Amino acid sequence: MNVIKISDWVSKALMVLAAAWTIAISFLVLADIIGRGAFDFPIHGTAEMVAASIVIIVFLQTGYAIRSRSMLRADFLVTHLPDIAQRILLALGYILGVLFFLMIITGGWQESVLSFVENEFEGEGALRVPSWPARWTVLLGSALAMINYCVMAYVDVFRPDLMRQEVEEMKQLDMEH
């Protein structure tokens, strides 16, 4: 249970960080437009920074997207099945999720380490952005995604009470929208 609390806290914290980052990006883009339009002085490297930021933002949010049940899925068929079958299929899906993000990590960690050691850069235009922050965030986000898929499998298969409560909370969030 404590593990779940910790991973939930981390997921939420990274999501908030990513949300703040998104706002920062919008101000950067705006500053670039104003700088270019009003003072003929664009902010060099905006495009490069935004591009790298998008990867970082998405993988910072991945864990939370999974945990908050925001990932898109089709539940039209599953809802007609008996409860136990539903939960087994859910678990199966989560295991596939674990495998998917595991493969992203195993396939990418070497390059991520190298990008740091060898000081790899992206872009040859206005600004050269180091590639390691985005690469490492992909690893971090994938690792959290794996943990959260495991948590979801535990909750949905063994703790239906907790699952129902979480689904209700999720609906509440949607209604506020």
For residue 166 the two structure tokens come to 């979480």
Separation CA 175–CA 9 (nearest Å): 23
Q: What is the DSSP letter of 129?
A: E
Among 10, 47, 113, 162, binds another protein (CB under 8 A): 47
Nearer to another protein, 18 or 147 (CB): 18
For 5, counting Cβ atoms within 10 Å of its Cβ (0-12 exposed, 13-18 middle, 19+ buried), the class is exposed
Mark 89-128 with x for binding to another protein (rule: CB under 8 A) and - for no binding: xx-xx--xx-xx--xxxxxx--x----------x------
Nearer to another protein, 1 or 136 (CB): 136
Separation CA 152–CA 167 (nearest Å): 12
* Residue 147 interacts with another protein (CB under 8 A): yes or no: no
Nearer to another protein, 1 or 154 (CB): 154
Separation CA 43–CA 85 (nearest Å): 55
* Residue 54 interacts with another protein (CB under 8 A): yes or no: yes
Start-end of H helices in the chain: 2-39, 46-67, 83-117, 132-158, 160-176
Among 10, 25, 113, 143, binds another protein (CB under 8 A): 25
- Number of neighbouring beta carbons within 10 Å of residue 158: 11
* Residue 39 interacts with another protein (CB under 8 A): yes or no: no
Residues that bind another protein (CB under 8 A): 15-16, 18-20, 22-23, 25-30, 32-33, 37, 47, 50-55, 57-59, 61-62, 64-66, 68, 70-78, 86, 89-90, 92-93, 96-97, 99-100, 103-108, 111, 122, 134-135, 138, 142, 171, 173-177
